[in-house]
Amino acid sequence: MGTDDADTVTPEACPTASGIPMLGLGTWQNDDPDQCAESVRTALEAGYRHIDTAQGYDNETAVGEGIARADVDREEVFLATKIWISNLDSDDVLETARESIDRLGVDYLDLLYVHWPARTYDPEETFAAFSELYEEGLIEHVGVSNFVPEQLAEAVDICDAPILANQVEVHPLLPQSEIRAACQNHDVEVVAYSPLARGAVFDQPEIQDVADKHDVSEAQVSLAWLREKGVTAIPKATGEDHIQDNWASLSLELDRADVEAIDGIDETDRTVDPDFAPWN
């Protein structure tokens, strides 16, 4: 199975978790405006229905342009962005969320995340503002990102609106078993950023063996492994070939031996680790 198989995978074939399409397009570091817009348009017209961005990526305008260019209705797109760590005071959340909505050229967001529990983050104040946006109908769902289990439990307890998802780095070299278990306990979905470990998964013999067995790419194997774990993946891709190849992962079904082989990888690689991360 190669990238041509992406043509046979319809949007309806993409599984969903609590309404989130389980394969989306990530846009982190996609900061060339035209390239970003075209990658979003290409992904949507290939079948993707989940687009992820953030204030900190400085590309919300381009993402919105890509959505506008695509021959896909806005209502069919699950659109997520994130409030940056300098904007988590109550007034700043309310103001900058509206600015994000304006830059994206939409009337509402499907999901708005706290990007990191850092700097101006105050659980009571931050989630009071998120709940206000939820009550106003400007956001359909509240999310958190990079929250460790204790912070997730606190957020679930404090926020008046349900917490839909926790977006964290997850891939075969960082399976995040503890965080995934905590999310399951709180009925919170896991969304994986950097699901290919910035390409590090491609060099793993276990993943290469599974890819050879199924005649697919290592990227497809890693994305299918995440899906087997109930994790939503949002790989970044800019070129049409990579966008199509990732989409074709939806046709790949791993067997138990495949999953066990990947689970047995004895290597850890965290690719995103700023000094303000809660695990530091």
Q: Which residues carry out catalysis?
A: 57
What 3-state class would DSSP assign to 37?
helix
- Other beta carbons within 10 angstroms of residue 50's beta carbon come to 26
CA angle, residues 255, 261, 263, in degrees to nearest 5 = 100
What 3-state class would DSSP assign to 183?
helix
What 3-state class would DSSP assign to 68?
helix
- Other beta carbons within 10 angstroms of residue 13's beta carbon come to 12
Tokens for 90? 């109550």
Alpha helices of the chain — where are they, by DSSP H? 33-46, 60-69, 90-104, 123-136, 149-158, 177-185, 205-214, 218-228, 240-248, 256-263
Residues 62 and 41: beta-carbon distance below 8 Å = no
Tokens for 123? 């659980």
DSSP 162: P
Q: Give dist(CA 269, CA 73) in Å, integer.
A: 38
Handedness of CA 41, 171, 273, 121 (dihedral sign): positive
Q: Give dist(CA 223, CA 69) in Å, integer.
A: 27
